[in-house]
Structure 1
Amino acid sequence: MPTVRLKLPGSFFRVGWSSVLVQFAEQIALTAAPLVAVLLFASTPTETALLQVAHTLPFLLFAIPVGLIVDRTAHKTVLIVSESLRAVTLGVVVVLLALDALTFPALVVIGFVGAIGTVAFSVTAPAVVPQLVARDQFTQANRWLELGRSAAFIGGPAVAGLLVSWTGAPGSFVAAAALCVFGVLLLMRLHLRREPAADARPVLRALREGAGFAWSNALLRPIIVTSFAFNVGWFAVQAVFIVYAIDNLAMGSEGVGVTLAVYGLGMVIGAGLAPAITRRLLVGRATLLGPVCGFAASAALTLTLLSPTPVLAGLAYFLLGLGPTIWAITTTSIRQAVTPMHMLGRVSSLLVMASYGARPFGAALAAVASALWGSAGALLLATVLFAAQLAYVARSQLVRLHALPV
């Protein structure tokens, strides 16, 4: 008997479209900030790298505290405040540009503050989904969110580049700020069935409770460990790929751009295939596709050391978009199904920190490996990391899960 897919409720789409808007705004800002830094301040590669640190460090510093706040504060309030913070910081950049008063240090600080809003939204949105949709719609809802994220990853940088070239530096920040404002307006009309109850327990006790639950759960622990290991390997690749592609694969800037765009294509196809895959495979087997594709991608890049062809690099980035998107959809649904409502914020924050906090470690390891053994050393290190995460998750209870827990 065919499965009947229920229509997602309108309340979900207020959060969903708000998420799409904030993702687009984030990608536009992430692309525009280094462009502005180079065009206005003639920034060096070290300085543009500092901008990236400013946009990623809040995930490591604030994910856990934000998770605690989410479990103790009205989710609608956190969503609105986080997106408003992003809109305000983008608006400040626009004003400073208009007054010809923007400096590089100010751009770094504003980017750091704005990223705190992104952290809060990233932690809160998955915690809200179970309040808006039925349990058997978790995968459908998370697929919708991943499709929006994929579209933002593909379209955001392109839109930012066009806006900077057509309208100058302020145009991209005006667009990003406007998207955040529209997102806030959508959230103003959001109605949630239940908000967190008051919690007067000491902060450390609440944090230990959330971390203890996640780490002791046989399904959540492999998700956390695998997410961390995957992202260390992923950013080890990211740290050296552009230089490696130009120096070793004879790729120009256009070729690199096409390869990175193929990554976004893989994300879209992964999100599109997720429902069919989860219908035909056990839920646990579907989660294995992310680690498998990560290892296959790193192996393809390693093969370019022997056969330096851009086709292998394109295949690698396609797989890095495809499998991890299916992983994100299925594991987010599992997390929402097994985690008690009052802990969703803290558990979500652990995943956000494991995923985003791993990235500076991956880049640092790649820097050391490439300094000692060149780009080849960084690629081989990434392959070892991807192999380790695959071996770990393949032996876990996660891959033997038949269906979402009830």
Structure 2
Amino acid sequence: MRIPVPHSVVRLPAAFQRLAWSNLVAQSAEQISLAAAPLVAVFALSASARETGLLQTAQTLPFLLLSIPFGVWADRRSRRTLMALAEGMRVIAMLSVLLLVGLHGLTLLWLAALGCLGATGTVAYNVAAPSLVPSLVSRESYAVANGRLELARSAAYSAGPALGGMLVGWIGAGWAYGCAAGLSALAVALLAGLREPPRAQTGQRHFLRELRDGTRFVLRDALLRPMIATAVFFNLGFFMLQAVYVPYAVHRLGLTASAVGVTLGAYGVGMVCGALAAPSIAARIRFGRVLTIGPFCGLLASLVMVATLIVPSFWLAMLSFFLLGVGPILWVVGSTTLRQAITPDGMMGRVSAINSTATYGARPVGALLGAGVSGCWGMEVCLLVAAGAFFVQVFIIVGSAAARLDGVPEGG
């Protein structure tokens, strides 16, 4: 009988530590730029809620378009190289925004196009990093390693939006994008020193056949299907809310750029709290029930945001984003661990890519819906529709086989 090793004493290899640090600085770069973009659009370019929704759509479109090609790459070639090249694209995009700000030539179209280019780094990390973890750590350490990655991401989500808001509000957009470019460059340098374990060579491979096999595996699995469906509706609701939040917070809640950054930063604080609490929660509650905490917190968060329609409040908005972080981070750790446990190694990149395409691909769809709903019926209706999407994801996960799991299943 194997005695489980406590999370606090698990020692992860140096290669994984380098991956975790690169993940931290890359996610920080993403969060600073994502927070800065709608603030610049509203305060400097006088963008409407519809236009910020379209901006969010552009910045999340790579998740829909690139996840599957990146996933096939991750199964065929170096995952480290994929992440480094994609992060390098973000450096170029952020420096281009910085240059346009300096030349007073920044437009909403340029902001959207360069935001789209910069998001390629995030897509590569979301696809390749979970695929790389099983080759760097032992099976028994999957949950710990995923928790460390999510803790790093949580720290970035906590500090990034607040820092982005403060930089834009206090000293201008250029500093925010310059900071993001510097962090992305550091991520590339960290990845350059990561030694990726070699993988067994396979025969000739066909893109469409590999994609078909990966899709078939996901759709036939009784655990992965509801997990993906739940994540799809969560992201639809979250990005409908995100699409209109900045103009809603500025015009209806009366918040400044710095205050908006603080409320967005509460999301990351929630993620940090959830990530730190995850080991003790996982030790006390069965695995399936842990998977339901995130969806329920998402629904509660959306209802708190709806309450600001009646009681406009900085504190309620901050609480909403805190709840969006604290529960769903348990979902991310749990769902990633489940996917890694039951997916064969040779299919890990494709399954991660299909998961990213379906779930993160819902982000531009949600943002586009937010732009459309707010443009036709107003920001208030958009918040109500977003709450409806959060209700659907709770309904899906509660009725699924995944919610009844006692522990992490065997497989892969």
Under TM normalisation by the shorter chain, which class is it?
Answer: 0.7 to 0.9
Aligned match for 2:230, one of 203, 226, 229: 226
User: Corresponding residue for 2:255?
Assistant: 252
- Once the two structures are overlaid, the 10-residue window that deviates more, 130-139 or 259-268, is 259-268
5+ residue gaps, structure 1, are none
User: Corresponding residue for 1:204?
Assistant: 208
Matches within 5 A, 1:300-311: 300-304=304-308, 311=315
Structure 1 pair 80–211 and aligned structure 2 pair: CA distance change class (3 A):
same
Structure 1 residue 95 displacement after superposition: 5.1
Structure 1 residue 96 displacement after superposition: 5.5
User: Corresponding residue for 1:388?
Assistant: 392
Contact 1:74 1:195 in 2 (8 A): no
The answer to whether 1:400 aligns with 2:404 is yes
What is the letter of the counterpart of residue 218 of structure 1?
Answer: A
Matches within 5 A, 1:177-188: 177-188=181-192
Q: SS of the residue aligned with 2:327? A: helix
Structure 1 pair 36–392 and aligned structure 2 pair: CA distance change class (3 A):
closer
Q: SS of the residue aligned with 1:71? A: helix
Structure 1 residue 285 displacement after superposition: 1.1
* Partners of 2:174 and 2:202 in 1: CA distance: 43
Aligned match for 2:6, one of 4, 7, 12: 4
Contact 1:237 1:379 in 2 (8 A): yes
Q: SS of the residue aligned with 2:205? A: coil
User: Corresponding residue for 1:111?
Assistant: 115
What is the letter of the counterpart of residue 171 of structure 1?
Answer: W
Q: CA RMSD in A?
A: 2.9
Q: For each residue in 1:22-51, what CA deviation from the matched residue of structure 2 results, as whole angstroms up to 9, or x when unmatched?
A: 111112223344555677x74533655554
Aligned match for 1:328, one of 325, 332, 335: 332
* Partners of 1:173 and 1:123 in 2: CA distance: 24
User: Corresponding residue for 1:346?
Assistant: 350
Q: SS of the residue aligned with 2:77? A: coil
Contact 1:283 1:403 in 2 (8 A): yes
Aligned match for 1:142, one of 120, 138, 146: 146
Q: For each residue in 1:47-89, what CA deviation from the matched residue of structure 2 results, as whole angstroms up to 9, or x when unmatched?
A: 5555433321111111111111111112122122222222233
- Once the two structures are overlaid, the 10-residue window that deviates more, 133-142 or 238-247, is 238-247
What is the letter of the counterpart of residue 47 of structure 2?
Answer: T
Paired positions, count: 403
The answer to whether 1:44 aligns with 2:47 is yes
* Partners of 2:316 and 2:106 in 1: CA distance: 41
Contact 1:73 1:195 in 2 (8 A): no
Structure 1 pair 51–388 and aligned structure 2 pair: CA distance change class (3 A):
closer
* Partners of 1:69 and 1:286 in 2: CA distance: 32
Structure 1 residue 398 displacement after superposition: 0.7
What is the letter of the counterpart of residue 255 of structure 2?
Answer: G
* Partners of 1:102 and 1:153 in 2: CA distance: 29
Contact 2:299 2:391 in 1 (8 A): yes
Structure 1 residue 110 displacement after superposition: 3.1
Aligned match for 2:364, one of 360, 366, 375: 360
User: What is the percentage of aligned positions where both structures have the same residue?
Assistant: 44
- Once the two structures are overlaid, the 10-residue window that deviates more, 205-214 or 233-242, is 233-242
Matches within 5 A, 1:57-96: 57-94=61-98
Q: For each residue in 1:296-354, what CA deviation from the matched residue of structure 2 results, as whole angstroms up to 9, or x when unmatched?
A: 22333445556666654443332211111110011111111111111111111122222
Structure 1 pair 114–318 and aligned structure 2 pair: CA distance change class (3 A):
closer
Aligned match for 2:35, one of 19, 31, 53: 31
TM-score if structure 2 supplies the norm length? 0.86
Contact 1:75 1:195 in 2 (8 A): no
- Once the two structures are overlaid, the 10-residue window that deviates more, 320-329 or 176-185, is 176-185
User: Corresponding residue for 1:273?
Assistant: 277
TM-score if structure 1 supplies the norm length? 0.88
